[in-house]
């Protein structure tokens, strides 16, 4: 669908800035507005990039309804604003997390209800409960954990499916995402909102301001290039925990398909990620980074498992592939190469923000 105006909340963040710029590139006649309060360190670097790409930057906070309304009516809202760390809220106030992730989403829903417009929501694999994911039968094989059985409720060798049981605690981050999904469903039923929800696994690529709590793929490459300490943390500190990784451009490709065909997308809730073929353990990631950079780091070991740590997550993309035909096209090598090249090219600007 050719939208005339697209509002991307969190539009100066890693995902939001990519989607906003790519959308503008794909549809030059569309007005694309990126709203962001620049809370994430490094998001300020997106502002000139957005402007140079023809995207309007609006400094605003999704927690404030007036700020969202200041963007004016949009045909499509892509909700990418968030406190995106699953570790947020532990041992500290949950206010910022809940108010941004949940109140912010409600403000977007209200904006859409009053002014019209479709919604694409960036949810998370973290809607699935921690205890359930920790209970997966895993064994160590070489440098990674693998599933010891072929399938169980909501999971198989292909990964975690949308049918994975939802009972149990999931972190406040995960709870805000699941609560947001429920509210979106109600707005669809009550107000006729058209909406699609993507439960994303790890997304990576250039312009991700990786830090210990979120964006570990970029962080790993940053440390290999700019120096600084890294450690394997949790589950004994062996570095064998596994995640699937999705290139940000593959996510954009999916967003294009979903928003072009609402007859299929409306009401859909999909697990979206790199998939089993694009999964990596921390030890394997270290090896990839060392090969690309020619630098071998002594990785520390922090055996303590934090409350929200999980040992294994791989997205089963079967449902989204069946519905849209979409599959990730870019493998781990491409993802790491793109991050590497971005860090090298932008070193002077990026090292003060991402280095130690």
Ligand X SMILES: NC(=O)c1ccc[n+]([C@@H]2O[C@H](COP(=O)([O-])OP(=O)(O)OC[C@H]3O[C@@H](n4cnc5c(N)ncnc54)[C@H](O)[C@@H]3O)[C@@H](O)[C@H]2O)c1
Residues that bind ligand X (CB under 6 A): 10, 12-16, 36-40, 43, 61-63, 80-82, 84, 100, 104, 122, 124, 200, 202-203
Helix (H) or strand (E) holding 6: strand 5-9
Q: Which of 46, 26, 49, 27 is nearest to 38 (CA)?
A: 46
**Least CB distance from residue 41 to ligand X, whole Å?**
9
Q: Which is nearer to ligand X, 34 or 301 (CB)?
A: 34
Q: Which is nearer to ligand X, 104 or 234 (CB)?
A: 104
Residue nearest to ligand X (CB): 13
Q: Which is nearer to ligand X, 152 or 309 (CB)?
A: 309
Sign of CA dihedral 218, 221, 227, 228: positive
**Least CB distance from residue 335 to ligand X, whole Å?**
12
CB neighbours of 107 closer than 8 A, spacing ≥ 6? 62, 63, 64, 65, 68
**Least CB distance from residue 163 to ligand X, whole Å?**
19
Q: Which of 172, 188, 180, 210 is nearest to 79 (CA)?
A: 180
Sign of CA dihedral 33, 37, 43, 46: positive
Q: Which is nearer to ligand X, 12 or 255 (CB)?
A: 12
Between the CA atoms of 218, 229, 171 and 34, what dihedral angle is there, to the nearest 10 degrees? -30
Q: Which is nearer to ligand X, 57 or 232 (CB)?
A: 57
Q: Which is nearer to ligand X, 248 or 289 (CB)?
A: 248
Place of tokens 């979206």: 272
Q: Which of 328, 321, 319, 311 is nearest to 147 (CA)?
A: 311
**Least CB distance from residue 215 to ligand X, whole Å?**
6
**Least CB distance from residue 79 to ligand X, whole Å?**
7
**Least CB distance from residue 69 to ligand X, whole Å?**
14
Instruction: Tell me which DSSP letter residue 76 carries.
Output: E
Cα(26)–Cα(185) distance, integer angstroms: 29
Place of tokens 């998370």: 124
Contact 117, 73 (CB under 8 A): yes
**Least CB distance from residue 21 to ligand X, whole Å?**
13
Helix (H) or strand (E) holding 347: helix 347-354
Q: Which is nearer to ligand X, 45 or 289 (CB)?
A: 45
């Amino acid at each position: 669908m050719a939208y005339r105006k697209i509002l991307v909340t969190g539009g100066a963040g890693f995902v939001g800035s990519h989607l906003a710029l790519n959308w503008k590139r794909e549809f030059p006649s569309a007005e694309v507005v990126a709203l962001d309060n620049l809370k994430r360190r490094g998001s300020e670097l997106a502002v000139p990039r957005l402007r140079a790409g023809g995207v309007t930057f609006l400094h605003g906070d999704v927690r404030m309804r007036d700020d969202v309304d200041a963007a004016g009516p949009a045909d499509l809202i892509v909700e990418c604003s968030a406190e995106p760390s699953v570790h947020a809220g532990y041992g500290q106030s949950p206010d910022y997390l809940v108010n941004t992730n949940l109140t912010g989403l409600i403000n977007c829903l209200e904006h859409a209800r009053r002014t019209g417009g479709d919604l694409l929501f960036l949810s998370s694999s973290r809607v699935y409960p921690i205890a359930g994911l920790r209970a997966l039968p895993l064994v160590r094989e070489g440098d990674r954990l693998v599933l010891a059985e072929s399938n169980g409720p909501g999971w198989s060798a292909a990964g975690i499916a949308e049918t994975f049981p939802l009972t149990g605690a999931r972190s406040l981050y995960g709870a805000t995402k699941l609560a947001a999904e429920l509210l979106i469903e109600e707005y669809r039923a009550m107000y006729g909102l058209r909406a699609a929800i993507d439960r994303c696994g790890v997304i990576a690529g250039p312009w991700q301001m990786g830090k210990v709590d979120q964006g570990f793929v970029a962080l790993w490459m940053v440390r290999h290039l700019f120096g600084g300490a890294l450690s394997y943390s949790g589950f004994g500190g062996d570095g064998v925990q596994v995640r699937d990784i999705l290139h940000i451009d593959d996510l954009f490709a999916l967003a294009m398909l979903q928003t072009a065909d609402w007859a299929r997308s409306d009401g859909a809730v999909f697990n979206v990620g790199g998939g089993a073929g694009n999964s990596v353990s921390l030890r394997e990631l270290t090896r990839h980074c060392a090969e690309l950079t020619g630098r071998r780091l002594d990785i520390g070991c922090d055996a303590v498992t934090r409350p929200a740590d999980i040992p294994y997550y791989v997205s089963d993309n079967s449902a989204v592939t069946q519905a849209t035909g979409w599959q990730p096209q870019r493998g781990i090598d491409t993802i790491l190469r793109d991050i590497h090249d971005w860090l090298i090219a932008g070193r002077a600007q990026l090292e003060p923000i991402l280095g130690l």
